[in-house]
Amino acid sequence: MSDAPIRIGVSACLLGQEVRYDGGHKRDPFLVETFGRYVEWVHVCPEVEIGLGTPRDPIRLERAGRDVRLVNPKTGIDLTRKMRTYAARRLAALEDQDLCGYILKKDSPSCGLERVRVYDGQGVPSRNGRGLFADALLRRCPNLPVEEEGRLNDPRIRENFVERVFAYRRLRSLFAGRWTIGDLARFHTAHKLQLLSHSPKAYATLGRLVARAKGMPRDRVRAHYGAEFMKALSELRTPRRHASDQ
């Protein structure tokens, strides 16, 4: 496996950069002081990068029929198209960085992963949205380990995220060069206990895929195995499954 640094994308304000709408930051001590010792950050502030200043008017998500728009409620300016265009371009550029994970700032209309406030026509919020940049990230990189900083305060979720980051890196290494079905079978065997501790069902499904991989197009095998492997690891371990593997 490559000894290149493990690169993790991160909402810039979580590293202490003063890029928030109010000119402040949301420095996260665990990320900066602990996790940051082992990874190389690739920091991104979508709102600053689309040209909004710091400080700036707060922006928010608003429901418009079946769509959700990113809006400055004070001026009425709709930033949806600008953010979506930017996100597509920025995420394409990030592909060259070989990210192994991404940590997003919760509640943000740009970066929030889940339960972001979406305001209706009467200005009443529902907590059922996702930031526009976060949404574009998940669509473009569906297998990438992604978490919010708030959820990483839960030790089980934190452990799971770190585990997925390293597993994703190994998966990428496997598929980065010319790989054979034998390489895939060895990879699968090497991850047997890890997969079983998350999902015995997924381990069996992946095993069947490896067994019939010879007759399948390589791209399909890679896409299918990669998606199922990362999905399996995102299931939190239970003490029972973990004990059954000892």
Q: Which residues bind ligand SF4 (CB under 6 A)?
A: 11-13, 19-20, 45-47, 105, 108, 110-111
Q: What is the DSSP string of 166-182?
A: HHHHHHHHHHHS---HH
Q: Is the Cβ–Cβ distance between 6 and 169 less than 8 Å? A: yes
Minimum CB distance to ligand SF4 smaller for 22 or for 120 = 22
Structure tokens at 223: 């896409």
Distance, CA of 140 to CA of 138 (rounded, Å) = 6
State in angstroms the smallest separation of the CB of 80 from ligand SF4. 15
Minimum CB distance to ligand SF4 smaller for 150 or for 207 = 150
Minimum CB distance to ligand SF4 smaller for 134 or for 232 = 134
State in angstroms the smallest separation of the CB of 76 from ligand SF4. 20
Minimum CB distance to ligand SF4 smaller for 61 or for 232 = 61
Structure tokens at 36: 């940051």
Minimum CB distance to ligand SF4 smaller for 62 or for 228 = 62
Distance, CA of 213 to CA of 128 (rounded, Å) = 39
Residues 6 or more apart from 64 whose CB is under 8 A from it?
Answer: none
Minimum CB distance to ligand SF4 smaller for 47 or for 135 = 47
Minimum CB distance to ligand SF4 smaller for 149 or for 228 = 149
Handedness of CA 35, 168, 85, 110 (dihedral sign): negative
State in angstroms the smallest separation of the CB of 97 from ligand SF4. 16
C-alpha distances in Å from residue 9, one per residue of 103, 166, 170, 236: 6, 14, 18, 22
State in angstroms the smallest separation of the CB of 41 from ligand SF4. 12
State in angstroms the smallest separation of the CB of 108 from ligand SF4. 4
State in angstroms the smallest separation of the CB of 111 from ligand SF4. 4
Classified as helix, coil or strand, 234 is helix
State in angstroms the smallest separation of the CB of 169 from ligand SF4. 24
Q: What is the DSSP string of 26-84?
A: ---HIIIIIGGGTSEEEEE-HHHHTT--SS----EEEEETTEEEEE-TTT--B-HHHHH
Strand partners, 40: 7
